[in-house]
Amino acid sequence: MAGLGPQGSGPAGANGKGSDMKPRIAIVLACAALWMGACASDEIGGEAAPNQPPTVWIAAAPPEGSVSSYTVQLFWGGWDPDGDVSHYEYFVTDNVKGSFLPADTVGADWSPVVGNDSTFTFSADSLAETIPDVNAAVFKRSHTFFIRAVDTEGMRSPQPAYRSFTARTLSPEVTITTPRQTLGLTPAEVPPIATYTWTAVDYIDDFNMRQAPDSIQWALEPTARHNSSFQETIDYLRSPASAAVWYPWVYYSAPADSGKSWTTPPMEFGDYVFAMRAKDDAGAVTPVLDEYMNARRVKVSRRTTGPRLIVSNEFVGSVIASTCDYPLTILDMAAGVGMSFTLSACADDYGGTVSGYRYGWDILDLNDPDQWEVDYTPFIGSTTVTPPRSFNFGTHTFTAEVIDNSGFCSRVEVKVNVVRFTGERNLLVVDDYSADENAGFSGFALTNGSVPNDVEHDEFWSGVVSNVADFDASRDMVSSATEREIPLVTLATYKSIIWSVFGDVTTTAATRLPLLYQYIQFRSTQTSANATPCDARAGVSGKVVPNAIGLSMQAGVHVLIAGQQPIQNILPRRADLVVRWPLIPLYETEDPQTGSPDIENPPGSTSFAVQDLCVDAIDFGYLPTSRARVPGSGSNRRYCPVSPGYRQPGTASTRDDTMREAQPLDVSFPSLRLRPEVAGPGKAYAPETQGIDAEVYNPTYFRVGAACQFVPEPRPCFEPIYGLVCRDTSERTYLQPVAFWTGAYRDVVAQDIPGAVGARSAVFGFPPVYFNPGEVKTAIEHILFDEWQLPRLPADAAGAP
């Protein structure tokens, strides 16, 4: 194949004479003094000199007989001994026999080119291997490039310059994306009208250089023509005999993605093979039909399911349905709290196309289009979000439906029970301390101050809140050991909640997870740019447990969460989610920490930490290297790496970065010191040993201007209460926040609670039970009485610290 339109540069006259006319006549003077009138005749005589042909040479080209890229810039030059070179002409042979034969130039069609260089695209359309086994195979073609000069009189070089070399390329790969590859070689089920999609890439010289291919073609061949055998059908499509069943070549970058997808006409039921191949601009064609890449077994049949429909929000997570009779999902919802749903759908896995969606509330007749809030509407983009709705009482049902281009539908119904918050009681204390399960090894005396038992824990909190009016521990303190769910209707009867929790970031066993995890764990809405509806994980169904704590806060209930590693419970306990700390909850509650975060559509924007607590980064006081966000490579690579934040001088039991005291960052609070039962001489947390672990929130060393550009400065709704005090004041965590106010709902006043006030909620990222009860009581009472304005017992009836 000759060059596809060379683009040249440089002067045509390469000999540098600069004249536009050739001398043609040798003038003979009749006399030497013509101007003096001494000439004997007024006629000029002489004869024309013969024109001499120009010569030509190749200045730069691949070495003779070498192998080169199929795109080559060639340089040449020419000289005319008695004039100027007007232009050049070139000719390229495709050496079918592998080398140049003189007969290849017979009847050559020479092409003009102006200038002394041009870039040519040579064909490389002959397989280097007889039986290739990969799509990206080597293709070659031998060529000889001829160039000759033409002077201004039209005379051509008698001997062209030439260079022979072999052009080389890799054939393009094409991968069918719809329908998706099923398990093994099971045929993908598609409807009679199906849309096939694919992606293709052309490797130029090696796998590091790539571009879009030139064109593609496809075939859809019924197995009925080949003994109903998939293998025989594929073998037929691999053979030259199948040329007639392949569709014409289509430009890969054609408008409206017509080079990247194809919708079939109505097809008869039966088995087929769909195959794809691509061609690059050197003529190399995908040589292999690979059933895991560019060939797919399909079965055209009547479907019983529709598109995959995902209905999600922050309270329910994701409901995923593929039929119109999917079971009802039931959700308890706080009165007056707005609720919207995100809808997305996918039919790509079976070759369908989602035609539209519709949704509405409290639809009695699904066949009446007037009862739908929005009737069938095509998706604009990948998702749509319904307007927020809130209800003050009753039970309401949200219905969403999608339909594909063959009329198959999927439907999700969410029944919402509206719960009114009455707040007839002042304070609920939730004992979510898993040390209760270690009855044989707990108690400050038995464990040398390491772990309190259930009695010590309950007595501590009973004493701390003893001055709250009408608090009855037998009624208002519940244990997660006996109550594995605290319904929203129970929380709705309280003005305020203290949730004491024992969390463990290393625990994945469901039996070891605190009840708090069940509520505040991140509920995926599957809207990340890194996920598509067809990639959605298993959704929820039946009665759903929402984040009742977040709902209570939005309804105007004030909450204090305190304990060991409480907020890390937002993380789903999935084997594929390997987390390193510090954590960025906006981006990393669902996606891994490799690559780069999804800035455009952060998955954690509705997570409890970000939305309800105003937390943008979480770290730990004690952070071993195995959990640290350290620099690495491969699967260990993390953006925003930091050095591990602890040192261990002396013995392994000495941790100078662990917490020994809480220093107030809010002047309204007292200092908190470890109690003697745990930190006295010889105890587990004695001064010469270790302190306790603590969560660290929004630390200064992990934000914009420090270690991570993806962590902003703390928002106004985040207000530190306590800073971590450890033995080593040079630790990066020293005086970083370990307790804070969250003002996300400080202006929300519960609408049905008489005397309700708007106030901040709080988080203590350490277990207060390890600290001096009297100091803790003073701190907690500031929250209960000064911030939340709960009624206090009269002074003569007040409880002891």
Structure tokens at 174: 């094409």
Is pLDDT above 90 for 116?
Answer: yes
Is pLDDT above 80 for 734?
Answer: yes
More confident residue, 731 or 430: 430
> Tens digits of per-residue pLDDT, 597-624?
778 888 888 899 999 999 999 999 887 7
Do residues 179 and 190 lie in contact, with contact meaning Cβ atoms separated by under 8 Å?
yes
> Tens digits of per-residue pLDDT, 247-268?
999 999 999 889 999 999 999 9
> How confident is the model over 280-306, as a mean pLDDT?
92
Q: What is the pLDDT of residue 368?
A: 95
What counts of helices (H) and strands (E) characterise the chain? 9, 39
Length of the chain, please? 801
Please name the residues in contact with 623: beta carbons below 8 A apart, sequence gap of 6 or more.
581, 644, 645, 646, 657
Do residues 784 and 465 lie in contact, with contact meaning Cβ atoms separated by under 8 Å?
yes
More confident residue, 169 or 3: 169
Is pLDDT above 60 for 501?
Answer: yes
Q: Is 534 helix (H, G, I), strand (E, B) or coil?
A: helix
> Tens digits of per-residue pLDDT, 23-39?
333 333 333 333 344 44
Q: Is 770 helix (H, G, I), strand (E, B) or coil?
A: helix
Q: Residue 678: how many CA atoms within 13 Å on its side-chain side?
A: 25
State the Cα torsion 360-363-366-369 to the nearest 10°: -60
Q: What is the pLDDT of residue 19?
A: 35
d(CA 629, CA 710): 14
φ/ψ bin of 232: left (φ > 0), alpha (ψ from -120 to 50), beta (otherwise): alpha
> Tens digits of per-residue pLDDT, 385-419?
999 999 999 999 999 999 998 888 999 999 999 99
Judge residue 412's burial from the number of C-beta atoms within 10 Å of its C-beta, 0-12 exposed, 13-18 middle, 19 or more buried: buried
- pTM (2 d.p.): 0.71
d(CA 328, CA 594): 37
> Tens digits of per-residue pLDDT, 447-463?
999 999 989 999 999 99
Is the sign of the CA dihedral 218, 224, 226, 231 positive or negative? positive
Mean pLDDT of the chain: 86
> How confident is the model over 757-770, as a mean pLDDT?
97
Strands 425-432 and 477-479, by their bridges, are: parallel
Do residues 61 and 146 lie in contact, with contact meaning Cβ atoms separated by under 8 Å?
no
- Percentage, residues of the chain above pLDDT 70: 85
> How confident is the model over 117-139, as a mean pLDDT?
91
> Tens digits of per-residue pLDDT, 212-248?
999 999 999 999 999 999 999 999 999 999 999 999 9
Asked which of 176-180, 577-581, 637-641 is least confident by mean pLDDT, the reply is 637-641
DSSP string, 85-100: EEEEEEEEEE-TTSS-
Asked which of 166-175, 370-379, 791-800 is least confident by mean pLDDT, the reply is 791-800
Q: What is the pLDDT of residue 464?
A: 98
Asked which of 435-439, 483-487, 755-759 is least confident by mean pLDDT, the reply is 435-439
Do residues 345 and 307 lie in contact, with contact meaning Cβ atoms separated by under 8 Å?
yes
Cis peptide before 641 (omega within 30 of 0): no
Please name the residues in contact with 441: beta carbons below 8 A apart, sequence gap of 6 or more.
447, 451
Q: What is the pLDDT of residue 529?
A: 40
Q: Is 60 helix (H, G, I), strand (E, B) or coil?
A: strand
- Percentage, residues of the chain above pLDDT 90: 63
d(CA 536, CA 533): 5
Is pLDDT above 50 for 286?
Answer: yes
Q: What is the pLDDT of residue 15?
A: 37
Q: What is the pLDDT of residue 49?
A: 83
Beta bridge partners of 195: 263
φ/ψ bin of 407: left (φ > 0), alpha (ψ from -120 to 50), beta (otherwise): left
Beta bridge partners of 404: 354
Helix (H) or strand (E) run with residue 345 in it: strand 342-346
> How confident is the model over 291-297, as a mean pLDDT?
94
Q: What is the pLDDT of residue 303?
A: 82
> How confident is the model over 541-564, as a mean pLDDT?
93
Is pLDDT above 80 for 95?
Answer: yes
Q: What is the pLDDT of residue 42?
A: 55
Q: What is the pLDDT of residue 34?
A: 36
Do residues 652 and 726 lie in contact, with contact meaning Cβ atoms separated by under 8 Å?
no
What single letter denotes the amino acid at residue 781? E
Where do the DSSP E strands lie in 548-657? 558-564, 618-620
